[in-house]
Amino acid sequence: MHPLLPRLAAQPRHPAVRSGDATVTYADLDRAARAHAAHLLAAGVRPGERVALWATPDVATIAAVVGNALAGIATVPLNPALGERELAHVLRDAAPRQVLASHPATFAGRAPSILPIVLDGPPASPPPPAAGDTLLVLYTSGTTGAPKGAVITHGNAAFDLDALAGAWGWTSADRLVHALPLFHVHGLILGVLGSFRVGASLHLLPKFTPEGVCAAMAAGGTMLFAVPTMYHRIAEHCEAHPEDARKLGRARLLVSGSAALPVRENERLSRLFGQRPLERYGLTETLILCAARHDGPRLAGTVGPPLPGVELKLVDDHRRPLAPGPEVIGEVAVRGPCVFPGYLNRPDATAQAMDAEGFFYTGDIATLTPEGEVRIVGRRATDLIKTGGYKVGAGEVEAALLEHPAVREAAVVGLPDDDLGERIAAFVVAYPGQAPSPQELADHVARLLAPHKRPRVVRLVSELPRNAMGKVLKKELAALPK
Ligand code: MLC
Ligand code: AMP
């Protein structure tokens, strides 16, 4: 029995994935995943090595992720929209043994050699990987520099998914409606691997639309995982289409995460659907740390208590623990079996984020309610932006802007946004005689990094406000009249 996916071979006729008109049973998935593993092993990929995979939202990609997990081969999922600069960085840093795609032609020329995922042929039965073996390397942004590869082990994922299954009463009777990207924790670990660990079914939507989500819920969905931006768009849609609101109202559980769900939005969703969404909180590096329980209180603005087995404390600016109390605000530090072992090739960054006792410092600022629920109230670094549930470092966007020949200086901030949570705004000083258009600069960033990292607002300014030390005063920029 595979330690991460024990149900894979245990319920052959149960539906595993529904995508479009096709339904793939657990037997189909198990067979396809093992055939894929056999091809990789025959091609000389060894357990413990890394394989990159264009994470297109289709069954072949999912089967390849599962096959890699069965064989102990680490998956490096690639955002299909990744820009050229960021893709080159990831491929250099992760140095995958192979790059795979369900449709290699789509990505022709984007990597030296791209192999198709092959799902037929004799299945492999490799020995199961150990808890400490790498399951995934997930690239995540910091305040500066290029994204870092967070190493997630089989043990990290198994612990976290079991804790979440307990919190949400998640079982094989569930069908999860899922329209999240497959290259981050939320969509890939929770949505895909979580469903398969508990033996549930997954209704995969290749593209998020409110109409598509409502139709999938009406077609038998019991749970929805989505980011606040998706809930915002679903709410807008359902206010105009009450019949669709009723479809979501029948859900067993609506779960929101990856960014704060504003209290106002929470109230709006409760009114629309007759049930309050559950929030959960986590990071790529730690997986999910806190979650409201399906049978517990649902308080707007809180992300639930720490999951059983997760140690959570609030610390001050010097990482000294703060005595818990109603007025206490501090940075969230965590320890537990879901916390990653470190960043790939970056012992410096790992040592900065974690202490010798194994506590990871999240950068999130929180308070604790008297009942022990966590309320996230902010973030330490203004240079980290969460937009549509994606984390973006201001530094990487600034560096990309500076590569544009017309840009002399650039400062990037996140501005509050009802839809995206934060929208990326760039303040740009152009070289004399140059006036690049906002669209041109946004396209430039989308081409180098990824479309979700493009600035949605670009303002040309004559100079950037700086303090006496020459440091850009970002708070002043964010406060400039629109
Ligand atoms: C627009 N597009 C461009 C472009 N402008 N493409 C190239 N150049 C330009 N200048 C295209 C995009 O490619 C995309 O195409 C479309 O326009 C819209 O792109 P977008 O603006 O990025 O998407 P948007 O509509 O805003 O998407 C909203 C969203 C998305 C909610 C669907 O943000 C999303 O999927 N968010 C989920 C993020 C997530 O999973 N986070 C989890 C991180 S894990 P096309 O073809 O795609 O439409 C984590 C831990 C935890 O945080 O706690 O979970
Ligand atoms: P990522 O690195 O993309 O995994 O993003 C992790 C960050 O997302 C956390 O550090 C938080 O800032 C934010 N986040 C995730 N879930 C929540 C939530 N429920 N409420 C508030 N912030 C969240």
Nearest to 61 by CA among 158, 150, 183, 172: 183
Q: What is the whole-number distance in angstroms between the Cα of residue 35 and the centre of ligand 2? A: 36
How many Å lie between the centroid of ligand 2 and the Cα of residue 282?
5
Whether 56 and 65 have beta carbons less than 8 Å apart is answered as no
Give CATH for domain 388-479. Answer: 3.30.300.30
Pair 422, 415: CB distance under 8 Å? yes
Rounded to an integer, what distance in angstroms lies between the CA atom of residue 160 and that of residue 163? 5
CATH 3.40.50.300 fits 15-196, yes or no: no
- Per-residue pLDDT of the chain in tens (482 residues, 90 and over written 9): 789 999 999 999 999 999 999 999 999 999 999 999 999 999 999 999 999 999 999 999 999 999 999 999 999 999 999 999 999 999 999 999 999 999 999 999 999 999 999 999 999 999 999 999 999 999 999 998 999 999 999 999 999 999 999 999 999 999 999 999 999 999 999 999 999 999 999 999 999 999 999 999 999 999 999 999 999 999 999 999 999 999 999 999 999 999 999 999 999 999 999 999 999 999 999 999 999 999 999 999 999 999 999 999 999 999 999 998 888 999 999 999 999 999 999 999 999 999 999 999 999 999 999 999 999 999 999 999 999 999 999 999 999 999 999 999 999 999 999 999 999 999 999 999 999 999 999 999 999 999 999 999 999 999 999 999 999 999 999 888 76
Which amino acid residue places its CA nearest to atom 52 of ligand 1?
A: 258
Strands 15-19 and 22-25: antiparallel
Residue nearest to atom 49 of ligand 1 (CA): 258
CA distance 75 to 156: 15
Q: Please tell me the distance between residue 389's alpha carbon and the centre of ligand 1 in angstroms.
A: 9
Residues 6+ apart with CB under 8 A from 300: 261, 263, 266, 267, 270, 276
* DSSP tag of 307: P
Angle at 175 between CA 170 and CA 178, to 5 degrees: 100
Calpha distance 317→250 (Å, rounded)? 45
d(CA 189, CA 158): 10
Which residues are registered as beta bridge partners of 360? 334, 354
Q: Give me ligand 1 centre to Cα 60, in Å.
A: 22
Q: Which residues line ligand 1 (CB under 6 A)?
A: 81, 180-181, 184-187, 208, 227, 229-230, 257-258, 282-284, 388-390, 442-443, 446, 451-452, 454
What's the token pair of residue 104? 């290699």
> Hey, whose CA ends up nearest to atom 45 of ligand 1?
207
Measured distance CA(3)–CA(276) in Å, rounded: 34
Residue 300 CA to residue 351 CA, distance in Å, equals 35
d(CA 154, CA 135): 5
Which residue puts its alpha carbon closest to atom 53 of ligand 1?
A: 258
CA distances 463 to 17, 286, 433, Å, are 53, 39, 15
Residues of the chain with CATH 3.40.50.12780: 15-196
Domain boundaries for CATH 3.30.300.30 within the chain: 388-479
DSSP string computed for 89-102 = HHHHHH--SEEEES
148-153 sheet: strands from edge to edge: 114-116, 98-101, 50-54, 74-78, 134-140, 148-153, 342-343
- Record the pTM: 0.98
Closest ligand (CA of 424):
1
